[in-house]
A and B are shown apart, each in its own frame.
Chain A
Amino acid sequence: MGAKFPSQAWADAMKEAVNSSEAYAAAAKNWEGDFYFVVSGSEEMIYMDLWHGQCRDAAYTTDPAYKTPEFKITAKHDQWVKVLQGKLDPIQGMMTRQLKLDGNLIKIMQNVKAAQELVGCATQVDTEF
């Protein structure tokens, strides 16, 4: 039985996937930055705090003031499903505005491998859409 996206169960599973990925740990060893992944048209979002190749915190929330993360990526539920299934490259999604980024894109672009490994972890999570 998979975890529903978005939910606390999904956030927990994603945290576990990240923290058990050696590839992510290596690719993101210098990364410092936290995110909101927001489902547009709803109040739901996932918060993730990523730090030196580890996920320090992951939470489901409907409170935009839960944290003040460095990055916020907003997309419709359908687009998140495509990202989580590995069908939509998040950078391509941002370039076509299917994903909207608030935050410093350059920092992400300079850590593309980390971003790809993160998506890789997300595709590993047993998700119920």
Chain B
Amino acid sequence: MWFFSSPQIIFGEDALDHLEELPGKRAFIVTDPVLDSLDFTARVRGHLTAAGMEVQVFAEVEPDPSIQTVRRGVAQIAAFQPDWIVGLGGGSSLDAAKGMWALYERPDLEPEEISPVFDLKLHKCKLVAIPTTSGTGSEATMYVVLSDPEQRRKISVGNRELIPTLALIDPSLTSQLPPRVTADTGLDALTHAVEAYTANFRNDYSDALALKAAELVFCYLPRAYEQGHTDSEAREKMANAATLAGLAFGNSLVGMAHALGHSFGGYFKIPHGRAVSLFLPYVMEYTANAGGSRYGEIARHLRLTDGDDEQRGARILIDATRSLEERLGQPTSIAAMGISPAALEEALETLCAHALSDSAILAAPRMPAGDELERLFLYAMEGKEVDF
């Protein structure tokens, strides 16, 4: 027995207009200061006002939102009592909105106590997620990643009731994304698709979504990166790819690239997508070395090969992933990120401990043993092919 969960998804040109159909009296927008200074918040506010709602804006979400930020938002929500919380932004704003939703409804819980094994019984308000990047998939999942700056780590929690009520995927919101953000977030989507397809929690439903998402990323991410300002088709396809990949991992799980990426990104302050996609090819090599990885199936779906040999197919997909990352100008080693061997060495014990206790490792198809985690970090430092 397993579940498939999804928000109601409204996608395509003018999807934002749907805000005018929402019932209710008050809406609370959660966003970041940059989006607030552009016209994004104004557009959303305009639609909500047209729906007859009073609107309040919380525009204080920082990258990798902290528990403290979430608590500040909760205090305002409790005073405003909205019918809708509207998360507007990249993964940080959407996660912050989900975190606020949970803690507003359940002030009795500490953030770390949110878990998928009991019912939250949310009933006070609903959540709309409006992504302005194409990558995290947060608009489609139950997961919330918050940071704990005091401990230099991230906490990752989730509950099925935190899947947004509505996800509005309007490609006009991503048309002006800078190339670096396009690459980071697009590769996050690819990492979601690949890890969802190979995680032990995978199922027929998540498989279908993962394959389509991977296909869209390989086809459209280079275009969105290279000519995104004018290529609206590439933007629309990447927006859909991100949500499909979110649905895929939300109903399966991510894997070790995320465990290593969360740990590494939290410690060295590297954006999520860049951190997880850095580790993706290394983790794929590590997983494929044990055999039976299913990467070959993805390679076949992408028509990178028509052969049945899983090991060879896996190699082809790993090489294609590295080529894509190089084409997008992504760093493919820790050294290329400007982190010295000494800095990594000093962090290594903490990095391994955090990666091993990350819930992303839960359904990894190959579980690291002995010093393998440490070696994975060291191989990624040097950009060395994983041979164990």
Instruction: From the candidates A92, A94, A101, A110, name the one contacting B2 in the complex (CB within 8 A).
Output: A92
Q: Which residue of B lies closest to A116 (CB)?
A: B367
Q: Are B117 and A105 in contact (CB under 8 A)?
A: yes
Q: Which residue of A lies closest to B156 (CB)?
A: A109
Produce 1/0 per residue, B299-318, CB < 8 A to A.
00000000000000000000
Produce 1/0 per residue, B1-37, CB < 8 A to A.
1110000000000000000000000000000000000
Q: Are B361 and A92 in contact (CB under 8 A)?
A: no
Q: How far is the CA of A38 from the CA of B112 in the complex (A)?
A: 26
**Residues in A whose Cβ lies below 8 Å from that of B361:** 112-113
Q: Are B357 and A110 in contact (CB under 8 A)?
A: yes
Q: Knowing A92-B2, A96-B2, say if A113 contacts B356 (CB, 8 Å).
A: yes
**Residues in A whose Cβ lies below 8 Å from that of B357:** 109-111
Q: Are B200 and A106 in contact (CB under 8 A)?
A: no
B107 part of interface (Cβ distance < 8 Å): no
Query: Besides A23-B369, A26-B369, A89-B363, 19 other CB < 8 A contacts?
Result: A26-B370, A89-B201, A91-B362, A94-B116, A94-B117, A95-B117, A96-B1, A96-B2, A96-B3, A101-B117, A105-B115, A105-B117, A106-B113, A109-B357, A109-B359, A109-B362, A112-B361, A112-B362, A116-B367
Q: How far is the CA of A110 from the CA of B362 in the complex (A)?
A: 9
Q: How far is the CA of A7 from the CA of B375 in the complex (A)?
A: 43
Q: Are A106 and B112 in contact (CB under 8 A)?
A: yes
Residues of A contacting B: mostly: helix
- Shortest CB-to-CB span from B372 to chain A, Å, is 11
**Residues in B whose Cβ lies below 8 Å from that of A106:** 112-113, 115
List residues of A (84-113) whose CB comes within 8 Å of B's CBs: 89, 91-92, 94-98, 101, 105-106, 109-113
Q: How far is the CA of A94 from the CA of B363 in the complex (A)?
A: 14
Q: Which residue of A lies closest to B110 (CB)?
A: A106
Q: Which residue of B lies closest to A110 (CB)?
A: B357
Q: Are B117 and A89 in contact (CB under 8 A)?
A: no
Produce 1/0 per residue, B278-317, CB < 8 A to A.
0000000000000000000000000000000000000000
Q: Which residue of B lies closest to A23 (CB)?
A: B369
Produce 1/0 per residue, B93-132, CB < 8 A to A.
0000000000000000000110111000000000000000
**Residues in A whose Cβ lies below 8 Å from that of B363:** 89
Report how many residues on chain A are interfacial, defined by Cβ distance under 8 Å: 19
Produce 1/0 per residue, A4-40, CB < 8 A to B.
0000000000000000000100100000000000000
> What would 16 A/B residue contacts be, using CB atoms closer than 8 Å?
A23-B369, A26-B370, A89-B201, A89-B363, A94-B116, A96-B2, A97-B117, A105-B115, A105-B117, A106-B115, A109-B359, A110-B359, A111-B357, A112-B359, A113-B356, A116-B367
Q: How far is the CA of A97 from the CA of B112 in the complex (A)?
A: 20
Q: How far is the CA of A23 from the CA of B368 in the complex (A)?
A: 11
- Shortest CB-to-CB span from B122 to chain A, Å, is 17
- Shortest CB-to-CB span from B346 to chain A, Å, is 22
Query: Ordered nearest first, which 10 A-B pairs have the shortest CB separation?
Result: A110-B357, A94-B117, A105-B115, A95-B116, A109-B359, A112-B362, A96-B1, A101-B117, A105-B117, A106-B112
Q: Are A89 and B370 in contact (CB under 8 A)?
A: no
**Residues in B whose Cβ lies below 8 Å from that of A95:** 3, 116-117
**Residues in A whose Cβ lies below 8 Å from that of B200:** 89
Q: How far is the CA of A98 from the CA of B116 in the complex (A)?
A: 13
**Residues in B whose Cβ lies below 8 Å from that of A96:** 1-3
- Shortest CB-to-CB span from A73 to chain B, Å, is 10
**Residues in A whose Cβ lies below 8 Å from that of B201:** 89, 92
Q: How far is the CA of A96 from the CA of B2 in the complex (A)?
A: 7
**Residues in B whose Cβ lies below 8 Å from that of A110:** 357, 359
Q: How far is the CA of A98 from the CA of B117 in the complex (A)?
A: 10
Q: How far is the CA of A97 from the CA of B2 in the complex (A)?
A: 10
Q: How far is the CA of A116 from the CA of B363 in the complex (A)?
A: 10
Produce 1/0 per residue, B337-369, CB < 8 A to A.
000000000000000000011010111000101
**Residues in A whose Cβ lies below 8 Å from that of B115:** 105-106, 109
Q: How far is the CA of A113 from the CA of B356 in the complex (A)?
A: 8
- Shortest CB-to-CB span from B253 to chain A, Å, is 10
- Shortest CB-to-CB span from A76 to chain B, Å, is 12
Instruction: From the candidates A98, A105, A113, name the one contacting B1 in the complex (CB within 8 A).
Output: A98
- Shortest CB-to-CB span from A129 to chain B, Å, is 19
Q: How far is the CA of A98 from the CA of B363 in the complex (A)?
A: 18
List residues of B (165-202) whose CB comes within 8 Å of A's CBs: 200-201
